[in-house]
Structure formats: structure tokens, C-alpha cells
Amino acid sequence: MGFSAIDEISFGKEVPSVRKMGMSAKRLREVLLFVCSVEFWRMAVLWSIALITSYFQLLLQSLHIQKSYSYPRRSPETSAFRPVCIITGATSGLGAAAARALSKESFTIVLVGRTPDALSKTAAEIRKFNKEAHLKAFEVDISDFRSIFHFKESLQQWLQDSNMHPSVQLLINNAGILATSPRKTAEGYDEMMATNYIGAFCLTQLLLPLLINSPVPSRIVNVTSFTHRTVGSMQVDRQAVEGKCFLRSKQYLFAQAYEYSKFCLLLFSYALHRKIGLMEKASHVSVIHLMMGLGRSSMLRSPLQKRWECTFLAGMAGQLTLLLSRIMQNWQANCGLPPVICSPN
């Protein structure tokens, strides 16, 4: 028995709905597999405990503080010198909030991000907030060495062409991702390790001469995470730092890879602080790590991940403004802040 013309039309209309049902079933299966995975429950349980521990530690520290200090805001810059602030991962979350807050503090903000569209959108939003904002955007892939080297050369050329002092006053290593599937960089590294730690390490080393060359005290801010508290007995070797041990696993241990990447960044902060302390010319450079709490961001980029937007990153813009003003207050003089500041929010 053949199909009539009406049957053909009706059948044709049903095909898209069948496809949608098939795609929905596939997505549902992916979600269920994700929720049932060991890594998901590691995030749900261990990360929650780590966050609560961080807040509890902060509470205990606040109870032992006997004297309250006031941190006055800097007055707008009146001289021709305008400090330069570089922010990686500047198109969302903490990075975008930091750029917006510091644009009001007389900084020239250098936005570093992966995509031109996101950079343009962020710059437009900042200019709506502050019409007098001084901004410069660079397209950089922090997980790619060639992109980082190219950025350093482009930055130096831009400083020269703009008749600006060849120095940087504030570097915020904020770029980070949380990928639930294994990805390799061109160099063969795990992309999450490359973005969250290796790229920040490389960029900081390349820009350190510009930070040392600053005529005023400069700051390096590494954005870490409370998740480093959940790192267990992990062997620290080249294979682990490059993330290759995670790539070789039968099931990608994305939660452990993220924890380890932030743990490495924390250790790097301490090591760099000690290294700079031994450099006579770099006595005015401070290394700070910020351990941030929960917030919304675009760290999770895949279609499935975007449905799970409970991510573990920065706090709100108001808290960030207070924190950064505390870091950068009286930046023309040595403010005497400790080299490392921990705050889960």
C-alpha cells in the first residue's frame, strides 16, 4: 500500500520532531552519565567541603584580627603616567568584573581573550559603564605558546607606538577553563592544565621584565581556587604538570585535573614570591594569589556544560572592587600588604 500525497506531507512534518526527540534523548543520556560519574560527585561533595572549610578558615582569621585597617580609594590620576593592567580571561566572570572595576581607577585596561567578538562585547559594556575608560584588546589563546609569545611582542609594540612607559603595573592571571572531556593543545599538553597553569606561568615569566621596569610598585595576581584543598597524593613530575597523566586515563578525571591545575598555580605563586625576593631590582614587585568562591562564568563552554552553569569561580563585582582596591590602594608607595592574600569570595 503506497503513501498518498497527504501521507507524504504528514510524514515529512514528523521527521524534524523525531530528530528533536532523538537529540533530546541523547542529551538526557549525556546528562545522566555526567551526574552518575565519580568526578561529578567529587565536585558535589569534596568541593563543597573545601569551600566551607575556606569560609570557616576566613572566619577564624577575622576573629583574630585585633585592629581594623581602612583602605582609602586612590584619587584619579592627574599626571601623564597611567598604570597598565593586563587581565587574562577578561570576557566573562571575574575578568570582566575586574576590568570594569579597575577602569574607574585610572588604569589602562588590557583585555586578553580568545575571541574577537567576546572582546568587543566586553569593551562595549565597559564603555557603557565608564565612557572615559582606556581599553586595549588582544586576541590571545593562553593555552598556546605561540599565541602568548605573539601577545608579548604585540604588547611591547603597542606600548612603544602609544608613547607609553615600557612597563606593566598589574597582571591578573585569571584565564581558566573546566572541561569535562579530554583536549590536547598543539604541544600535546592537556588543555585545562595549559590554560589554568602553564599559560599563566609562561605569560608571567615573559612579562616579568615589564613588571620589574615599572617606576611604581607592581603586582602579579594569580586567581586560584578553593578546590586545591582536595588535591590528594599526586606525584609532582613533568607528566603530571603537562596533564598527560590525565589524558592517558581510561576515563578523563576532569575534576582532579582542574584541582591540580589550580594547586600548581598556587605553588607557582609562592615560588615566584621567593624568587622575586632574591632579586634586588624586583623588590617593588608583589605576588598575590586570590582564592575565589562561587559565581557565574563561561568556564564551561560545550553545549552540555552550558546547561550546568553552577561553576566554581569569582565572586560579585562589588566584593571584587573592595578586594582589588585593597590590593592596589596607595600603589605609588609600598602598601605593605602581605605577599599572598586568600579569600574564598
For residues 94 and 314, the answer to whether their CB atoms sit within 8 Å is yes
Mean pLDDT of the chain: 79
Flag whether pLDDT at 3 surpasses 60. Answer: no
The arithmetic mean of pLDDT across residues 194-219, rounded, is: 96
Q: Is the dihedral of CA 9, 10, 11, 17 positive or negative?
A: positive
Residues of the chain above pLDDT 70, percent: 73
Fold of 80-328: Rossmann fold (3.40.50)
Reported as a pLDDT band with limits 50, 70 and 90, residue 93 is confident
The arithmetic mean of pLDDT across residues 243-270, rounded, is: 89
Give pLDDT, residue 281: 79
Domain borders along the chain are 80-328
The arithmetic mean of pLDDT across residues 159-173, rounded, is: 95
DSSP string, 74-95: PPPP-SS---EEEEESTTSHHH
Give pLDDT, residue 127: 96
Flag whether pLDDT at 98 surpasses 70. Answer: yes
Flag whether pLDDT at 33 surpasses 50. Answer: yes
Reported as a pLDDT band with limits 50, 70 and 90, residue 201 is very high
Of residues 5 and 172, the one with the higher pLDDT is 172
Flag whether pLDDT at 218 surpasses 70. Answer: yes
For residues 191 and 177, the answer to whether their CB atoms sit within 8 Å is yes
**In terms of Cα–Cα distance, which of 72, 75, 85 is closest to 133?**
85
Lowest mean pLDDT among 231-235, 242-246, 254-258, 291-295: 291-295
Cell matching residue 109? 585596561
